[in-house]
Each structure stands twice: as structure tokens, then as C-alpha cells.
Amino acid sequence: MPSDDQTNPAAVLSSSENGEEVENNALGPLDPTQLKIIFIGVVAALAGLMSGLDIGVVAGALEFFGKRYQASTFELEWVVSAMMAGAAVGAVCAGWMSHHLGRKKSLFIGAAIFVIGTLGCALCWSVSSMIAFRVIMGLAVGLSAFTAPLYLSEIASADSRGAMVSTYQLMVTVGIFIAFLSDTFFAYTGNWRAMFGVAAIPAVLFLIGIIFLPYSPRWLIMQGRHKEARGILLDLRDDPLEAAKEIHAIKEQLETKQEGWKLFKQNSNFRRSVALGIMLQAMQQLAGINIVMYYAPKILSTAHFDTQSQMWCTAMIGMINMLATFVAVGLVDRWGRRPILFTGFTVMAVGMACLALLLHSGMKSEESQLAAVFMLMIFCAGFAMSAGPLMWVLCAEIQPLAGRDFGIALSTLTNWLTNLLVGVSFLSLMKGLGTDGTFWLFAALNAGFIVLTYLFVPETKGATLDRIEKNLMNGTRLRDIGR
Ligand code: BGC
């Protein structure tokens, strides 16, 4: 389990530590300090890009790989899902590693594993070797998905923190989109090895870039290396007063000891927020986004698309996913969490139900094929503007300070495990329930999530983390803890 030092990377998407909104005023001419920060942001955000590439690449590569090795449905499901199993393990190790080895070394190890994993998948010699390298790739994804946002939130100044961390989330969707595009390009020759191998280029750049990154000042302070921390903060902030204030704030925060497991055993109110975090991440995954991310070409093939059209449509779906995430980042603090989730789950339920109806009709005309792609896009847009980024934000907001690391660790683990469940069962579901039956199932799940949102999800927009904690701990019902 992650250790006692983690800040709350997703929460800083929308809030500063004390829950006040922070404005991003990064416009205007750039000075050398800002350039340094941008360099750091770009390097660390490459971790997001790498994760996105690894999530997206399998969609296009699966069919060609399957044909080459005559893989069964079961084997293909594991080629897809081995990555999530690796990511779950990586996420569990990440807390320990980023505490004991530090953020920079953890990122470096993550980048090295990315290089090994991508090259291994490109050069694999059998189904089982591919599955093994996908697990390795997943380790890197789980490790980086935890460490990079954490590092970014610790390096950024208060007024650029939201932007830095949301850049990471956006880079994941950019990575998925680029993977879909490169899959499309290599699909003309069926070169699945190149689809995997090409990701080694950003992986190597990432690895080299990390060498030039400074240590996280917060981690240095945790290690008692105050002088070094001060030096780095002076370099990054260019303002001794600002640097001194930040060091003081970090020391104060570190005084709250993390005692998640103890609190979990003793306090039923904390158990409620842990359960809520687990429910939120399970809802995110069971909404079905990753059946589209991993299997879009497969779904489109059941709608009688030829290989090239499958790939181009998948690339367009990736683009919508990316663009809608941009929209979400702007909406989160204006609309509030509940209205966005109601809208998102309704859009997803309708998208899945329409798709099921279309598939049931046999997809004989070109119009119905176009309508199917459109529905997949609507579904992805619904996810990317709501449950995609929002569940990460909410999960970080609802946990009390003393149990935050424990609560976030469990909800993150749930995310990877339910992701695994969906990935590993989708093709079998399609065989068992039929394609339209499978989409009806996801439509029903999304409809159910509207009800769960109504019953349990709090509106945390504008609420300080302190207020949320007080309400939770005095037994206020979950959906009211943001009031
Ligand atoms: C989810 C991932 C998903 C991605 C798609 C994230 O919020 O956790 O499982 O692949 O969004 O953009």
C-alpha cells in the first residue's frame, strides 16, 4: 500500500490544499524560471503520453497479432488485460517506491520499464511472451500513473498546479489518440510489431528527460534534506519569500500522520468514504469506456466495417475522447460534480442503448453503420466530459486527511481491477450474450449509475476539503458531505 507521504494529485485538478479555487494565470511572456517549469511539466507529462500509448495501442494491434499466432478469444482477452494486472501491481508498489526511493528515481524506473515493455511487445515470439511483456508494460503504467501526477503537483507553484496536473490527464488521452493514429497508419501493412515498437521513441526521450529533472522538494523535506529542498524551490520560484512559505506549508502538512488502516478499523464514517471511493472507481470502469478503448475495431467489425474503416473510425473516436477531456477540465468547477455525472451517465446509457438497437437491426445499410460510429463517439464524449476525469477528482476530495493515502490507494486499485474485469470478459460476453446483448448490459449499468449518483455522490464543488471531512466524520449522509 502507498505510504504516508502522498499528497492528493487528483484533488489539485480543481482545488488547492485548503480547498480554495486557484486561478491559472500562466499567460504573458515567459521568463527562464517559467521555461524550467514548462520543461519539467513536459517531461513528467510524457509519462501520461506513454500510459495513453500503451492503453491505445492494443486496439489496432489485436487483430493482426491474433492472426499471426492463431490466438483464441481467451488468449486475446489476456493480451489486452495483462496490462491492467501489471498496472494494479505497479500502483500498489508505487506508493512505497515514491516514498523510499523518491519520485525522480521511481519515474526513472518507470521509464526504463516502459522501454523494456514496449520493445518486448514489439519483438515477442509467442502469445505467452506477449502477455508477459504486457504485464511489464502495465507495471510501468501503474507506477507512472501514480508517480507523475504526484511529482507534478509537488513541483508546481500553487497557481500553476491545477494546469500541471490536468495536463497529465490530458496527455493520457493524447497518447490514446496518437496510438490509434499510428495503429491506423501501420494497419495498411498489418505491421503490429511497429504499432508496439514505435512507442519506444517517446519512452527513450522520457527516460533521458528524467535525468535532468530536479528532486521533488516535498520528498527532500520528508528525508530531512531541507537545504537541497530550499535550493530547488529557490530555483523554481525565483522568490525567496515564496520558497520559505512553501517549505513552511509542506512541514505543516507533513505533521498530519497517515493512519489509514487504523482509522479504517476504528471509524465507520471513514469506512463510508472508502466504500464511496471504491464505488466511484468501479462505476467509472463498469460504464464500459475501455471496451471502446481496447476493442473499438473489433466492435466495428461486427458492424461490418472493413479493416481500414475500422481503424479510421477508431482514430476519430480517440480524437473525440481527447477533445471532450479538454471540455471537462473547464466544466468541473463551473457545473459541479453531480450535474456533470447525471449528464454523462445519461449520455452513455443512451449511446449504448442506441448501439444495441442498431446492432440488433443487423446493420445492413451504410446509414446504420455511420449511426453506430456516431453512437460510439457520443458514448466516449459522455465519458470523457464526466466520469473520466471526475472520478479521479472526487476520489481525492472525499477522504479525510489522516486516511487520504489509504482511501485513494484502495479506490485506485479498484479502478485497475475493474478495468481488468471488463477487459478480460468483453469478448466472452459478446460470445455469450451476443453483441447487442452486451451493449444492453452496459446501457443498463449506466442507467443504474444515474441512480447511484443520485443516492450517494456528494456535490463537492466549492466545498473546502476541511468542510467535507467535518461532515463525513459527524455522520452526515454521503450525498450531503459537500454542503
Ligand atoms: C480511465 C481509463 C481510460 C481513460 C480513457 C481514464 O479516466 O481511468 O481507464 O482508459 O480515462 O481516456
HEC string of the chain? CCCCCCCCCCHHHCCCCCCCCCCCCCCCCCCHHHHHHHHHHHHHHHHHHHHHHHHHHHHHHHHHHHHHHCCCHHHHHHHHHHHHHHHHHHHHHHHHHHHHCCHHHHHHHHHHHHHHHHHHHHHCCCHHHHHHHHHHHHHHHHHHHHHHHHHHHHHCCHHHHHHHHHHHHHHHHHHHHHHHHHHHHHHCCCCHHHHHHCCHHHHHHHHHHHHCCCCCHHHHHHCCCHHHHHHHHHHHHCCHHHHHHHHHHHHHHHCCCCCHHHHHHHCHHHHHHHHHHHHHHHHHHHCCHHHHHHHHHHHHHHCCCCHHHHHHHHHHHHHHHHHHHHHHHHHHHHHCHHHHHHHHHHHHHHHHHHHHHHHHCCCCCHHHHHHHHHHHHHHHHHHHCCHHHHHHHHHHHCCCHHHHHHHHHHHHHHHHHHHHHHHHHHHHHHHHHCHHHHHHHHHHHHHHHHHHHHHHCCCCCCCCHHHHHHHHHCCCCHHHCCC
Separation in Å, CA 295 to CA 38, 284, 442? 35, 17, 15
Q: What separation in Å is there between the alpha carbon of 321 and the centre of ligand 1?
A: 10
- Ligand 1: does its nearest atom lie under 6 Å from the Cβ of 321? yes
Q: What is the pLDDT of residue 170?
A: 85
CA of 176 relative to ligand 1 center, distance in Å: 9
Q: Are 107 and 148 in contact (CB under 8 A)?
A: yes
Structure confidence at residue 158 (pLDDT): 64
Q: How many residues does the chain have?
A: 483
In angstroms, the first-to-last Cα distance of the chain is: 31
pLDDT of residue 150: 81
Whose grid coordinates read 485513494? Answer: 408
What spacing in Å lies between the alpha carbon of 166 and ligand 1's midpoint? 13
**For residue 35, what pLDDT is reported?**
81
**pLDDT tens sequence across 394-446:** 888 898 888 887 888 899 899 999 999 999 999 899 999 998 999 999 999 99
Q: Which residues in the chain land under pLDDT 50?
A: 1-27
Atom of ligand 1 nearest to the CA of 281: 8
Ligand 1 atom index nearest CA of 392: 7
**256 CA distance to ligand 1 centroid (A)?**
31
Q: What is the CA radius of gyration of the chain?
A: 22
Instruction: Return the residue whose CA atom lies nearest to atom 11 of ligand 1.
Output: 388
Confirm or reject: Cβ of 388 under 6 Å from ligand 1: yes
CA distance 310 to 174: 19
What local confidence, expressed as pLDDT, does residue 108 receive? 95
User: Is 423 in contact with 294 (CB distance < 8 Å)?
Assistant: yes
**Between the CA of residue 235 and those of 31, 155, 157, 215, 238, what are the distances in Å?**
12, 11, 12, 12, 6
Q: Is the CB of 320 under 6 A from ligand 1?
A: no
Cell numbers that stand for 2 in this block: 502507498
Distance CA(280)–CA(438), nearest Å, equals 22
Most ligand 1 atoms within 8 A of CB, residue of 293, 326, 383, 412 to mutate: 293
CB-based burial label for 365 (10 Å; 0-12, 13-18, 19+): exposed
- Residue 112, number of CB atoms within 10 A of its CB: 16
Q: Is the C-alpha dihedral spanning 122, 125, 131, 135 positive or negative?
A: negative
- 393 pocket-lining for ligand 1 (C-beta < 6 Å): no
Label residues 264-277 b or e (16+ Cβ within 10 Å = b): beebebbebbbebb
The closest residue, in CA terms, to atom 4 on ligand 1 is 388
Whether the Cβ atoms of residue 113 and residue 434 lie closer than 8 Å to each other: no
* 414 Cβ inside 6 Å of ligand 1: no
CB within 8 A of 386, min separation 6: which ones?
328, 340, 341, 343, 344, 345, 347
> What is the number of the ligand 1 atom nearest to the C-alpha of 415?
8
pLDDT value of residue 5:
46
Nearest CA to ligand 1 atom 8: 388
Q: What is the pLDDT of residue 8?
A: 38
Atom 6, ligand 1: which residue's CA is nearest?
A: 388
Span from the CA of 291 to the centroid of ligand 1 (angstroms): 11
CB-CB contact of 214 with 235 (8 Å): yes
Centre of ligand 1 to C-alpha 169, Å, is 9
CA distance 424 to 401: 35
* 173 Cα nearest atom in ligand 1: 12
Q: Using CA atoms, how far apart are residues 152 and 268, in angstroms rounded to an integer?
A: 33
Ligand 1 atom 7 nearest Cα = 388
How far is 242 from 240, CA to CA, in rounded Å?
A: 5
CB 44 within 8 A of CB 38: no
pLDDT of residue 231: 87
List the grid coordinates of 480: 450531503
pLDDT (0 to 100) of residue 163: 65
Q: Is 169 in the pocket of ligand 1 (CB under 6 A)?
A: no
